[in-house]
Every structure is written in structure tokens, then in C-alpha cells.
Structure 1
């Protein structure tokens, strides 16, 4: 018991600017106020002074080990994961985390499943960093099975699972899966808790995956998410405007942005390699915008109208419609004789503010028509209305 206090005393002398912290930690430790000590440690390890070097490793080995299984075990897992990231040698970090799992198992606590899963997800992340995709995937699959059998799971565990999954898909260039996993990660994470550089990188990767992902035709959810604002005022702001162009199916705007930001686009190999795919996607979104902008009673659209908006031939418009039908973005019938398409359904999507305003205007027009019809009925059949 004395060694932990001696360590705190030595640190208090070595780092007088942190003396109050060390005094408080020692006081809570001596009084065995484990919950309060956990909260204080949580604040302590978040200090900038611990973000580099091996200070946290020393803190863990010389102080936290003396009471580690007496505090909340998930909090112990949180501390262990933070400490593991300070090991320069990933092999040492892996061994350290395996040791933590053994300590958790030794407690025979009924609640160890969640903290062990949290630690294993960090091991999966280290495996991925070392290029071991197979072991990472195996740990993710095991983690998914465990999550499916648990209830009342802490958001941090979900966040960790979805983050490691997203990084696995990113390395494999599985854009759609990366997009889904990243949005799920953000669903369990406070954006305010993330650093500016982290938010910017994630916002850019999300934008890229939205553009390139198969069957991602709804950009509204991403554009309305707080993280996307991280792109504004940066060197990669251009991708934000391209997202907006795609969301609105604005082909002319996309072509203009492609010219203005040609150098930036060329610097992204994935965008260059998938140029044809991107053009097809924005044409499909242009088609959806044409359908959305028309009243529900006027959904029989001449193919020539679509051709003019998309700058495609009528034959290519037919292919575009068949593609949209095949991925269930729309439902309807193509009439090649009449040269029209009748759309009976279009996939719902998250609307931007301009799209919501357009919908409001259409509702206002519909209300005006209903009111006019009512007045007409009242004028023509006063006795029937009066009765």
C-alpha cells in the first residue's frame, strides 16, 4: 500500500504543477473511495501532459495496479486501453492488454464480459495496424456475437466496436461498409469530445465513402450531421460542396466544381478511378430530384425531359431508369412506345433545408387547390353545403 503513495509523493515533488492532483489521488486512495478515485483518474489521464511519453504507463504500473480490480471494471478497461496506446512497441502493448484480460478473468466477476470485449477490441485495432486483417476480423466477429447476446451495453463499447469495424473496412476500401460503421460510431460518440484533426479526417473519409459507396444515394443524413461542418474553411472544403451537388442531383454544379477543383480531385486516386461511377450516381440522383420535384399526381415523365436534365441520350436514360429500378430507388413502369416513365414510388430520404422548403411550397399549393375546390363546391351547391 505504501509503494503507491510513495510513487505519488515522488511525482508530486517532480511535478509541482500537478501537486494538487497527486494529493487528491492519494487522499481518495487512502480513504478507499474507489468511485471518486475513478472519476478523478478519468480527469487526470485526460490532461495534455499525459498525451506523450510513458507517464501513463508509469502511473498504471506504480499506482493503479494496487487497486485496479476494486474500481468499476469497465473503467479499468478504459484506463488499460489508454495506457496501451502509449507503448511504442505494439508487441508490448498487446502483452500488456492480455495481462489485463487475465486479471479481469481472475476476478470471477459476473460483469467481466463487457470490459474484456472492450480490451479485445483494442487488441483488434493493434492487429489491424500490424496488417493482420484476419485476426482483426476474427476478433470483430467474436465481438459482434458477444454484443448480440448482451443487454444494457455501455455506449463506449458500441463506439469501440464500430470504430474498429470502420477502420477494417477502410483498409479494405469497402466504402459502403466503412460509411455505415462510421455513422454508427458517431451515434455512440459525442462529436464535441473529438479533436479537430480527428473530426476533419473522419468527415473527409465519410464524404469520400458516401460518394464512392455502392447503393449510397442519400446524402442528407451526412450533410445534416455536426461532423460535416469540420470541412468548412479547410483545404478540403471542396468535397462538402460536391456532396451538396450530389444530394441535390445538380449535375451542372458538379461539373463546375470538378473543373474548379480539378487538382484536388486528381490527388484522390479513388475518385479518379471511379469517375464513371460517380457520373452514373449523380445522374441517378438527378433523376430522383426530377421525380421528387413533381407533384404526386404528375409522375408520368417524358424520357426526353430526363435526357435534357441529365445530358444523356434517351437510350442512356432508359438504362438509368432500369438501374434505379434494380436497386429499389424507384418503382414504376417504362413505356417505350410513349417515351415516358410512370413512377409510383420513390425512396424516402433525409431532406436538405432547400428541399424541405420546396416540399412546403408544394403543400401550400395543394392547400390552395383544396380551398379553391371547397369554395367552388359551396358556390355551386349552397343548399347541400348548408344542410
Structure 2
């Protein structure tokens, strides 16, 4: 219970302190000190408003640090202490009222390297650990830790203001990418079989705020549609034994019909705008899947067309891999396998899992078993490992 409070409230506290004090180090350290204080203070009983307790304690910790740091301007620190809820910048035409969303835009400043923007916001806004971020980036914890440290140092050295940009659209691609990564880490985390519902819900909340903030931008609608349609299948994704359930085996009556209806409506609105982007096309792909009453009813031709459009905008090996899965249903596993084998994805578990399934369909059991083994060695999520292990075991 206490762990859930810390996980939910820490990012909110950091975002609020960053807005107020304009210093990421102070915000993160004060929030961390408040959490440590709570571990002792809450041993016997949790306060009625744990989030408020953490915010008050963290604010006091931050003020104490400001008082100790003689290098800081005393008048500035005093003003902050006397005006605890002061806005630090005038409201822009697109005023971002949500602290966490404001912090995402701040951390996605163009002066920071793209990978640094993502790592920093995943740490400060989503509250992911360095290890979780390293898993999301397929990197080492040391490398991610250095990346975050350098990003915060860059913000301080370049005096990047904690202010909302006048043109939100300029940073929108990075902001959308951050929200999407937060959702993915919650939907299929790398270190736990259980879904991180808190992260998925937070990503959807931020996507809703972005869509409300920029209603004329179709990619914000596309991202919200994509997250809604994906999250609609949450209850069917993992079975009682903690094993991943693939799309063809999911019980579709357990899908969330309200989220599906919302996602379909957003996709239709994007089609009317006719300015396709990667998130809109991914949402449209999910709309096709969630429109089929049964797996056998899936419109594979429509999916192939959508993947062609997506690859034209985002020509990545992963998109090509997903398209090859569709081709297997249209032209057969042999044609699909030929396309898959040419992809540079040897370090990606889904590449080997896809090869294993195609080889299995072709009756090449020995090769399929080896591909399953490669996939198991690379898979991060225990639910996926269980599924792949069972599939390999069925080969005999």
C-alpha cells in the first residue's frame, strides 16, 4: 500500500517542485528525502492525505536546502518561500496547467539530445527507475544514469528555463514519444509479470491532456486512440498463470468496449482530417484488429495497406517485422519468413519469436526450437518468457 503511494505520488511531487523552484536536482532530491522520511513516519499509520504529506515535507526539504546553499540568490529563495504557490512564468496562449505535462515539455527542450529528453522525462515524470528505463532503451543502467545526469547538468549550465514554449508543436514529437514509452512500460513491463496499470493510466491521462491542449493536431488524437485501443485489451493480455495471451487466443468479450468505441471515434476523426502520421496509422491498425469479432474475421488486406503507409512514414525494421506477420496471413508463412530473415533485428526478442512461429507453421521444428530459445534469452517480461517456453515445449 505504502509502495503504491510512493510510486503514484513521487512523480507529481517532483513535477510540482520543479515548476516552483526551477531546479531538477532540488526537486528530485527533496522528493526522495520526503519518501525516506515517510518510511519512518508512516510505520504505524498512514496520514489521511499521503500525497499532501509528501508534498509538504518535500517542499520543506527543498526550502531547507535553499537556505543552506549560500551560492543561491538569497532574495530569490526568500521570495519562493514567502510565495509558495507563485507561477514562475506568464501564461502562454496554450497554458499547460498540469505540472507533469509541463515538465515533459520542459525536459523535451531542443538543446537536449533526443535520447536524453526521453530518459530524463521517463525518470522525473513517469517515476521509472534507472533500471526500468535501461530496459526500455535496451541499454545499461550505468549508461542511462550518465545520460540523465548529463541532461540535468545541461539544463542547469544552459539555464534552460522551466517555461512552456510558445509553440508547443515544436516539441510535440518528443512529448508524444515519452507518453508512448510510459504506456508501453506499464502495458508490458520488462521486470515484472504484472501489468503496471498505474503507468498505463498515467500515460492515457497525459494523452488526454495533450489532445485537449492541441485538439487540431491529429497526432495527439492518434496517440490517444492508440493507447485507448491497446489498453482496451488489458484484461485479456495475461492469463491466471501469468502467461502472455496472444491476440489470436484472447477472449474478446473481455475487451473494454467503451475504450474501443472511443478509439474508433478518434480514428474516424483522424481520417477526416487526412494528415496521417505514425500514431494515427498505428491506431488505425489497432482499430482493424478490434473491429473483428473473431481473429479469423480480421481484415488482413486492410492491415497490409496500413502497414505500407506506416512504413513509408517510419521505415524501421520493427514496422517491417509487423508487416511480415500480416503477410503470413495473406501469402503464407514461407513468403513472410523470407521477408523476416532479411531484417537486422538479431537482438530483438520479437524477431526470433516471429521466426519461431513461422518455422513452426512450415514444419521446421528443429529450427523453430532454436528460434524460440533465442527469443526466450532476449525476452524481458516473465509473461512473454512463459508463453515462449510453453510454445517451445509443445514442439516435443
Higher strand share: 1
- How would you bin the TM-score normalised by the shorter chain? 0.3 to 0.5
Scaled by the length of structure 1, what TM-score is found?
0.39
Q: TM-score w.r.t. structure 2 length?
A: 0.38
